Structure 1
Amino acid sequence: MLMLSLATLITLALLLGSGVWIAFSLIGTAWVALAFFSTFDPGPILASDFWGASYGWDLTALPMFIWMGEILFRSGLADNMFRGLSPWLNRIPGRLLHTNIIGSGMFAAVCGSSAATCATVGKMTLPELERRGYDSQMAIGTLASASTLGLLIPPSIMLIVYGVVTEQSISRLFMAGIGPGLMILLMFTGYLVGWALLKGDRLGLTGEDESGMSFAERLRHTWSLIPILVLIGGIIVSIYGGLASPTEAAAVGVVLSIVIARLNGQFNTTIFKDSLFAAVRTACMIAFIIAGASFLTSAMGFTQVPMQLARAIGEMGLSPTLLLIALTLLLLVMGCFLDGISLILLVTAIIMPLIEVAGFDLIWFGIYLVVVVEMSQITPPVGFNLFVIQGLTGKDIITITRATLPFFLLMLLAIAIMHLFPQIALYLPTAMTR
């Protein structure tokens, strides 16, 4: 087991370090694991996983949301969002860097996908923040980290999977995700304010200064936010009003973005074609990585390494706190090789009896599990959000990882706070059942 783990890590590090495409690196690592450490033929497994990962109704939402982001970016609507927010954020340390955190939180409540949130919000914010002179490292860190909340803030596919497998109320899980989600957003915002106070000028501000506006001018700029608010409101209403599923709402978002851009006089055939082709390129890049990650997940399943590690922890007889620490370390390691849904299915299949004996509330544990899965999204070498950011910016994975490290540590702190104060997650679902 140790030999396979080391071989997997070394192979993946060598492939990624040599500049091989991310998807090919994942495929190569999985092939080595199956060819040398199992009796299974890698070829049929690769074909099956690629076919299974290449279609699906839920996957349709990803390219549609990315296309929506491309339309917003190319038609100038993203610039309108910055123009409307800038006068109000001007006196807050960090200024428009907060748009990554706020925007990711809002979009997470719309689509429930970490990758779609990261790609869509990043397409709107990263070029504009760079143009306005903001720190690129902090822009990348806030985006990659805050976009992971797409897995926690409802609607969340991860919470649905956990609820179905453990027979817990999905509505109570959704309610339980709100408190920790808001807490993590506030922690990210607080860190950004502290960083800006230490790094910025006398007032602790960074980026382009737009002070000196009168209140009337600020209100006039705020009108620029109306199209974006209409778009987000239309998507949210279509989902929570029962008019459309999250996947169908992605198509609603594309249509609304085209209509709004057209009404603003900033949409034409060229923008339509350019946004469509750019969305196809980004979506294909992400889909290829998803297929490679699916193959690696299967390889880890066939070699039985994750199950053996989970059983080893279960046999240690640890206290609840030590068990939580050991599980967190285990899940972060396995998150380097398994996708989030596979992690949840593995834990619920093997560890759940141990969790019940230890006395953890299963609603609370579901939220904890999703937060750890979020952390795995920014954990190298296979943090999925890191790859999305790399595709958007072209920066190397080490630079992106360094930018996200402070937010990774904040999420560890959030787990500790949730353990000490479980009512952060349990208050709303408990109040709902009264």
Structure 2
Amino acid sequence: MTIVLLTLLGLLSATLLVGIWIGPALIGIGVVMLDLFTSRPTMRQIGLWSFNVLTSSEVVSLPLFILMGELLFRTRLSQSLFTGIAPWVGFLPGRLLHTTILGCSLFSAISGSSAATTQVVGRITLTELLRRGYNKDIAVGSLAGGGMLGFLIPPSIPMIIYAVLAEESLLRLLTASFLPGFIVAGSFMTYIAIRALMRPDIVPEHDRRISEWSWSDKLKSLVELGPVAFLIFTVLGTMYLGIASPSEAAAIGVVGALLVAVLQRALTWQSLKESCLGTVQTTCMIGLIVLGAFIVGTVLANLRLPQFISAAISSWNLAPFALIMLLMVFYIVLGTVLEGFSMIVLTLPIVLPVVLAAGFDKVWFGVFLILTIEMAQVSPPVAFNLFVIQNLTGDSQTYVAWKVLPFFLIMCGFGILITLVPGIVTWPADFLLGK
């Protein structure tokens, strides 16, 4: 078993150091290990696994969710979000700073991508906040923090990958992640309100006065939120009401995104071409990663390597809470050198059996894993959310990382909370879908 583990680590290290893309690298490693350590017909087995994995209902929904996000990226939805939310947060301490968190939360519910959420929402909210004179530090930090919600609030592209690799219901995972996502968003808004009460100067003087928006303005602003509400219902509403499966809901969401683009006069042949091309590129990249991870994970499972590692960790006699905290630190550190998708596919075949053996639920661990992946999105030097904000502001990654630190610590605290009270994650899915 030691030979198997050393072979895996050696091949993985060699491919990453050479710079081979993670998808082809995983497929190559799986083929080599299949040839070396099993007697199965390699090419026939690879063909069978490729068909089974890439035609599963969860993977079929993946390009549709990506296409929906690509289409919305090219609309004026971010402007509509800011205009629709702003009149309703004027009475809160922190005023318009809350538009970033709420905007990210709502866009996450129709996007599924953390980087896209940061880019689309930040393009409008950050520019407007800085123009009005809000404190730059808290504005940048709140955008980086709000962007972390992109993976946690459904629909979530990494959650689809986890569902495939863990062989768990995608609908249960999406349902379980909804409540934690909005609790985290509420925690971020609470932090901003407390900061504003402690330091009123983070809000410009003209915005500290009584809200300039009348009830007439607030009611009119709801029209701007109409496209977002429509898309959330078409995607999440149809799933939770039992009208559509996740893949069907994704298809409905694409139609809804096209309709929004047409109504906002943002749909041109050029934007449609760019959206389709971006979808193909992203889907192919993720598809190769998922297939490679499945091949490697299946080979390792047949060789019983996860059980071997699980037994070794069990011999440490760690309490379940200590094990999860160790994994949280492990993923945060791993996030400094790997991006989120790679972290999931490289570690899940080994980590998941260990977690299940410790008595944790598979759905619960999916939400926990996505939470830690989100934290890794703001852990330098490989931190995609920070790269996006750098492009928006021109600041250094170190500056942005320091400003997002309070939101990062809130996420850490929430990870500890759901470990102590796992029902926060599991209860919604059990209540709505049954055990």
C-alpha deviations, 1:349-408, integer Å up to 9, x for none? 112232222222222222111111111111111111111211222221011101111111
Residue 205 of structure 1 deviates from its aligned partner by 4.8
2:264 maps to 1:261:
yes
Residue 162 of structure 1 deviates from its aligned partner by 2.4
Moved more, 399-408 or 173-182: 173-182
Map residues 140-179 of structure 1 onto 2, 5 A cutoff: 140-179=140-179
**2:397 matched residue in structure 1:** 397
Structure 2 residue runs without a partner (length 5+): 1-9, 29-58, 297-305
Does the C-alpha gap of structure 1 residues 65 and 129 become closer, same or farther in structure 2, counting only changes over 3 Å? Answer: farther
Does the C-alpha gap of structure 1 residues 246 and 99 become closer, same or farther in structure 2, counting only changes over 3 Å? Answer: farther
Secondary structure of 2:225's match? helix
Does the C-alpha gap of structure 1 residues 355 and 80 become closer, same or farther in structure 2, counting only changes over 3 Å? Answer: closer
Does the C-alpha gap of structure 1 residues 362 and 47 become closer, same or farther in structure 2, counting only changes over 3 Å? Answer: closer
Structure 1 residue runs without a partner (length 5+): 1-32, 302-306
Distance 2:264 2:15 in 1: 56
Map residues 202-351 of structure 1 onto 2, 5 A cutoff: 205-206=203-204, 208-209=206-207, 211-212=209-210, 217-234=214-231, 236-237=233-234, 240=238, 242=244, 252=255, 255-262=258-265, 316-351=316-351
Distance 1:208 1:311 in 2: 62
- Number of matched residues? 370
2:104 maps to 1:104:
yes
**What is the one-letter code of the residue matched to 1:188?**
F
Residue 71 of structure 1 deviates from its aligned partner by 3.8
Residue 338 of structure 1 deviates from its aligned partner by 2.5
Is the 1:86–1:210 Cα contact (8 Å) retained in structure 2?
A: no
2:40 maps to 1:42:
no
Distance 1:396 1:309 in 2: 40
Is the 1:179–1:425 Cα contact (8 Å) retained in structure 2?
A: yes
**What is the one-letter code of the residue matched to 2:164?**
V
**What is the one-letter code of the residue matched to 1:416?**
I
The TM-score, its normalising length taken from structure 2, stands at 0.70
Does the C-alpha gap of structure 1 residues 42 and 171 become closer, same or farther in structure 2, counting only changes over 3 Å? Answer: same
Distance 1:168 1:176 in 2: 12
Does the C-alpha gap of structure 1 residues 259 and 227 become closer, same or farther in structure 2, counting only changes over 3 Å? Answer: farther
Secondary structure of 2:148's match? helix
Moved more, 132-141 or 223-232: 223-232
2:119 maps to 1:122:
no
C-alpha deviations, 1:327-360, integer Å up to 9, x for none? 1111111122233233233333112232222222
Does the C-alpha gap of structure 1 residues 40 and 356 become closer, same or farther in structure 2, counting only changes over 3 Å? Answer: closer
Is the 1:79–1:128 Cα contact (8 Å) retained in structure 2?
A: no
2:195 maps to 1:195:
yes
Moved more, 401-410 or 177-186: 177-186
**What is the one-letter code of the residue matched to 1:332?**
I
Residue 163 of structure 1 deviates from its aligned partner by 2.8
Is the 1:95–1:206 Cα contact (8 Å) retained in structure 2?
A: no
Distance 1:337 1:59 in 2: 27
**What is the one-letter code of the residue matched to 1:233?**
F
**1:378 matched residue in structure 2:** 378
Distance 1:431 1:81 in 2: 31
